[in-house]
Amino acid sequence: LYTHSFYISYQGSDLSLAILQFWKGEVLSEKGLYYFYVYGSNLYGAFSKESFDIRVNWVKEHMNEIISLNKEFILNAKSPFLFSAFCLEVIKLMKDKSVEIKMPVFLDATCSGIQHLSAMVADFELGNEVNLIYNKDKVQDIYQLLTEPINKAINTFGEESKEYKSLSKLYLSRDDLKQPIMTQNYNVSVFGMKEQLVNRLNKPINTNYETDLTKINLENNYPKKNMVITGFTKDGQEIILNNKDLVMISIIIKKVIFNEFPILKEIYDYFISVVNLMNKLKLQVNWITPSGAHITQNYLMTHKIKIKWNYGNKSKTNIIRKILNKTDIKKQKNAIIPNIIHSLDASHLMNLIDEWSKSEIGPVISVHDCFGTLPNTTDILLFRLKEEFIFLYTNNKFLKTFDKRLILTIKDNNYIVEKKRKNRYVLVNDN
């Protein structure tokens, strides 16, 4: 669900969200104040993986900085604009406890892609690492969990290879690795992961780099004008990385994630093999989501046509894509896992909002796998989010349903499916 507005949107930047409030507010209950403080701590980035009680206590301990709008304190927040908005609301509460608070409080999923995949196969270990298993005192952080093994693998590879010696002391932080780990669940390519690292690690060239850059083979370095890609050692020394380094780092990240969680590799291999099979049979991939949406994945090849035209003294080139009646095999493979996860995310969202609207609890807004409501109804939203997620995988055996539909599609197209021992085969001819 996307909002249709120019800039001022709760799905926009921190500043855009910070100046938006619900039309109607509420006087905060004791629980409402509790969750409001939890949200404030989250906005600052303090103890975001600790228990709610610890986060609430953090806000109380820093109340003086909050109500005095301490500039240095606020600028150190993870989301300075949103945290400023939180501070302004706290100031109102200090003056009058009966004031209505209209600021939305958001709840965010923990790596929702892995949440869906682990729930799909009911894997306890993986589900625990993305907070599907209840733990009152600790919030699991899969990004931090994978940081050490990924760095160890990168360093070991650097120590064993003269060509990649610079990787032997490289240390990538949790924040450096968060996007690559998250998008691995959406089948991101090595190139896509490399570009994520470039965007995270690139910085403008200044005079301090001039001497170092003359020593680098610029053909190997990432070709970005006036930019250099730098990582750090654990003790803060800079390491200049080239294009080949970044590709190798991306390959290692992907390998480590699958090594640490083999069940993910099994799920990936299954879906990719399904697409490979359907491509060979020249068939589309179909599935029905738990909310009842019928999905057909059928990407077609396109042919680019360049059209040059003149307007006044200026010339311009437009590219028109002509759709061909031929399946785009590569896109079918790359898209299957993200499309399935997004369709399940959408089912969860639709079921939640459908049930929520029947109960007339109050406002609820969503940004993909993130949901917002008033502080007083945060505990209800938290419960309903979990409830609908459980229903998604107990009322609907998605993977079994997907598999049965796949077989049915193959049979409907006059192919014979045979089972020999544990394997299934599609007979495409007499041989």
Q: Is 369 a catalytic residue?
A: yes
CA 260, chain centre distance (Å): 19
Report how far residue 298's alpha carbon sits from residue 286's, in angstroms, rounded to the nearest whole number: 9
The DSSP element (H or E) to which 298 belongs, if any, is none
Judge whether 171 and 230 are in contact, CB under 8 Å: no
* Size of the chain in residues: 431
131 DSSP 8-state letter? T
Instruction: Name every residue whose Cβ is closer than 8 Å to that of residue 175 and which is 6 or more positions away in sequence.
Output: 200
Other C-beta atoms closer than 10 Å to the C-beta of 376 total 22
Tokens encoding 263: 């069940």
Instruction: Name every residue whose Cβ is closer than 8 Å to that of residue 131 and which is 6 or more positions away in sequence.
Output: 110, 115, 139, 140
Tell me if residue 300 falls in helix, strand or coil: strand
Tell me if residue 291 falls in helix, strand or coil: coil
**176, 245, 345, 369: the active-site residue:** 369
Q: Is 108 a catalytic residue?
A: yes
Strands, E, within 6-82: which ranges?
26-27
Q: Is the dihedral of CA 159, 162, 163, 169 positive or negative?
A: positive
Judge whether 168 and 159 are in contact, CB under 8 Å: yes
The DSSP element (H or E) to which 315 belongs, if any, is strand 314-327
CA 89, chain centre distance (Å): 30
Alpha helices in 234-314 (DSSP H): 243-260, 262-280
164 DSSP 8-state letter? G
**Residue type, position 262, single letter:** P
**78, 97, 108, 152: the active-site residue:** 108
**123, 176, 178, 254: the active-site residue:** 178
Q: Residue 114's closest CA among 93, 142, 95, 91?
A: 142
Q: Is 345 a catalytic residue?
A: no
| Residues with a known catalytic role | 108, 178, 369
